[in-house]
Amino acid sequence: MTAAHALPWSLHQNPRLGQWVSFAEAGIARVFTAKVELGQGVLTAMAQIAAEELRLPLAQIDVVSGDTRFSPDESYTAGSMSIEIGGTSLRLACAQARHAIVENAAARLVVDAIRLSVERGAILLDGKASGLDYWKLAPEIDWNQTVDGEAELRQRGAAEYIGQSIARLDLPPKVAGGGFIQDLELPGMLHGRVLRPPTPDAHLISLDRSRAEALPGVVKIWVSGDFVGVVCEHEYQAIKALEALSAGAKWAGDEGFAIDQDWKRSLPRLRSIDSHSERGEVVAVPANAKRLSATYSKPPLAHASMGPSCAVASFEGGALKVWSHTQGVFPLRAALAKVFGVGEQQVTVMHTQGAGCYGHNGADDVALDAALLAREVAPRPVRVQWMRGDELAWSPFSSPMVIKIGGAVTPDGKIADWSTEIWSGPHGRRPNRHGVELLAATHIEPPTPFPEVHEDMNVFAGGARNSEPTYDVQHRRIELHSLPGLPFRTSALRTLGGYANVFAVESFMDEMADAVGIDPIEFRIRNLSDPRARRVIETVAKMPRWDPKAPRGTGRAAGIGFCRYKTTAAYVAVVACVDVAERVRVTKVHCAVDAGLAINPDGIVNQIEGGIIQAISWTLMEQAAFGPRGVTTRSWEEYPILRFDEVPEVEVRLIDQPDLPPLGVGEASCGPAGAAVANAVARALDRRVRDLPLTREQIIAAMT
């Protein structure tokens, strides 16, 4: 990589050098980021980046992450952009900090800077100690200078840390039984629980507190509108008090919540706000081309985090402090400030790692729960952890989606036309500076209801993400029917609309290949001019020795799935092998990845493997369900996820591109993995199943 880089968004928003690097503590370089650790290994990669550009050992790097007191405001950790945007920003800042200090040292020593080098923060002159180091020179640097991206970056051939599979820095405390917000304990900490209405439309009409108030350890019961919270000395006491409050609560307006579970038929009938995108020239489709159309569907999905959402808050002297596993400390701070009616500077949000979520689960919501209860028992801190039923019923869902694709293919295997229609609820309803979007805010008095939200094409974010095929298509039209009126809250889950859209696009690619009798991998290659895309497909095809003449309908088959995530991030191709008998079992998965420069190769492989496994779970078994009393999938029995004994062997081959910028990988494998499983099942059955998940019931329905 060379100088004069185009500056990433994070640097445009946070241009001052001192927002990224500090040498205030002797012997330590402290670097700042708002990108947070969600299990993706990002803090290890950030430390590697800083160590590389500052020429320091990893032990001398301290990464401060997701703390509104110190971090630059980079909005959310989302969209597989932590390294691509946040990491690149930090790299440019660290390179400029080193350059500024070395230039300052050259001026003090009255020598040419080319004679200086850095070793463990010490400035060497012709390889010998000069008596200067980062910490002596740091006070003389203008830390308000703008990061301009002109400083030279470390070349890959000389790199010590970039490109190395450094062991994850966040794992030791987690392996030892700590390291998560669920393990956080502050002096004098109390424990809270919140009683939720039975359905989103229910309202509290009466509450008998007497039984709960008589229980040991109860410190406070607070009721505001439809919000009922209890604070106790110990967690189990809070759980028992919650049970007593639930028995004493009467609600109105909680009937008639039943939702049509047939998403494929019901979504297109709902009120929608439409937008479209059209590219390329409309050309006459050859007369001998075959026209096809197909409709695919995906049900609402829950995040189903193994560790329920949790937060700790304290309120003292008019100032609120919150420890949260939110993915956006600054947007959450803004939303909390609105609820409390205070300035943002009176609210501090500190990220504390949670038990895993890629998207928008209940982390932000439970932060408000804890903050409201902490205000009532100030100054003692309050910890609130959701129950499993809360996590599965009240976290935002990934929207159900219906995708209809039409197209034409010539006898020689070229795509002649493409059109897509998508029906989807919103995928981006996180708390932010414009709207509160927090669950408890809709229940307290006065309430702040969730606003009606819809999405447009918006550079293919949200429901339209990855609806645009990566393949060479001379003309294509994509229409999004955004559904603002779904009767339950939807928001971001890993990939947003990308998983469903890639499942649909790649299923349709196989259907077009079948229509003209061409092997699915060969068909994809014929319609791809991007050499990086072709390479990942060709690479993955060699891994399992793909057989284009493999028989169909035997109950055992392999399938292919591919995409470039968001059309801007990593290229991923997946081949999944399945056995279909009483149920579908994925036996082996092969994957090829091109993510540009690999900061930590093992970290990339971890992310790809995790995305594959989660996508298999979505594809084979996951779906949220509803009834007259709201969400009915409130336990692991009702909402099963992939078990350890169902996880297949996964082989990942990383195509290293050290001379190209790093590309996001956190969500990149989910869509291709789900599509590969679906295509494998279609070949194993010789029958296409277009509705997810691929359960026994769905397969029987497709076969009859």
Q: Residue 376's CB: how many other CB atoms inside 10 A?
A: 16
Distance of alpha carbon 66 from alpha carbon 257, whole angstroms = 38
Spell out the domain ranges in the chain.
Answer: 9-170, 181-254+304-394, 401-703
Q: In this structure, which amino acid lies at residue 513?
A: A
Q: 481 exposed, middle or buried (CB, 10 Å; 0-12, 13-18, 19+)?
A: buried
The pLDDT, as a whole number, for residue 337 is 97
Distance of alpha carbon 698 from alpha carbon 679, whole angstroms = 15
Residue with tokens 């932060």: 367
Q: Please report which residue ranges of 417-557 form alpha helices under DSSP H.
A: 498-515, 520-526, 531-542
**CATH code for residues 401-703:** 3.30.365.10
With a cut of 70, list the residues of the chain below it in pLDDT.
Answer: 1-5, 254-261, 263
Distance of alpha carbon 660 from alpha carbon 189, whole angstroms = 49
The pLDDT, as a whole number, for residue 254 is 58
The pLDDT, as a whole number, for residue 1 is 40
The pLDDT, as a whole number, for residue 258 is 55
| Tokens found for residue 402 | 């219906």
Dihedral angle over CA of 641, 645, 648, 652, nearest 10: 90
Distance of alpha carbon 656 from alpha carbon 562, whole angstroms = 18
Note if the bond before 693 is cis, omega within 30 degrees. yes
Determine the Cα angle at 255 with ends 250 and 261, to 5°. 140
Contact assessment for residue 282 and residue 489, using Cβ atoms and an 8 Å cutoff = no
The pLDDT, as a whole number, for residue 461 is 85
Q: In this structure, which amino acid lies at residue 169?
A: L
Contacts of 264 (CB under 8 A, 6+ apart): 295, 297, 402, 691
Dihedral angle over CA of 224, 437, 64, 325, nearest 10: 70
Residue with tokens 């007191």: 69
Residue 276, Cα to own-chain centre: how many angstroms?
25
Q: For the chain, how big is the Rg over CA atoms in Å?
A: 27
- Our separate counts of H helices and E strands in the chain read 17, 26
Residue 157, Cα to own-chain centre: how many angstroms?
32
pLDDT in tens, 61-116: 999 999 999 999 999 988 888 999 999 999 999 999 999 999 999 999 999 999 99
Contacts of 284 (CB under 8 A, 6+ apart): none
Distance of alpha carbon 220 from alpha carbon 229, whole angstroms = 8
Q: Is 252 helix (H, G, I), strand (E, B) or coil?
A: strand
Regarding beta strands 190-195 and 227-232, do their DSSP bridges make them parallel or antiparallel, or are they unpaired? antiparallel
Of 522, 585, 553, 518, the closest CA to residue 682 belongs to: 553
| φ, ψ dihedrals at 393, nearest 5° | -95, -30
The region that residue 497 occupies, defined by phi over 0 for left and psi between -120 and 50 for alpha, beta otherwise, is alpha
Of 374, 388, 360, the closest CA to residue 196 belongs to: 388
CATH fold of the domain at 181-254+304-394: Aldehyde Oxidoreductase; domain 4 (3.30.365)
**CATH code for residues 9-170:** 3.30.365.10
Say whether 401-703 and 181-254+304-394 share the same fold. Answer: yes
pTM, to two decimals: 0.94
Distance of alpha carbon 127 from alpha carbon 116, whole angstroms = 7
Residue 97, Cα to own-chain centre: how many angstroms?
31
Q: Please report which residue ranges of 621-695 form alpha helices under DSSP H.
A: 670-685
pLDDT in tens, 383-404: 999 999 999 999 999 999 999 9
| Tokens found for residue 167 | 């062991």
Contact assessment for residue 30 and residue 152, using Cβ atoms and an 8 Å cutoff = no
Terminal Cα distance for the chain, rounded: 57
Give the 3-state secondary structure of 328-373: CHHHHHHHHHHHHCCCHHHEEEEECCCCCCCECCCHHHHHHHHHHH
Contact assessment for residue 589 and residue 680, using Cβ atoms and an 8 Å cutoff = no
Distance of alpha carbon 527 from alpha carbon 412, whole angstroms = 11
Q: In this structure, which amino acid lies at residue 28?
A: I
Contacts 24+ apart (CB under 8 A), 30-33: 30/62, 30/64, 31/61, 31/62, 31/63, 31/64, 31/90, 31/93, 31/94, 32/63, 32/64, 32/65, 32/70, 32/71, 32/72, 33/63, 33/64, 33/65, 33/66, 33/71, 33/72, 33/74, 33/86, 33/90
Q: In this structure, which amino acid lies at residue 352?
A: T
The pLDDT, as a whole number, for residue 257 is 55
Q: In what helix (H) or strand (E) does residue 13 lie, and over which residues does it extend?
A: helix 9-13
The pLDDT, as a whole number, for residue 2 is 40
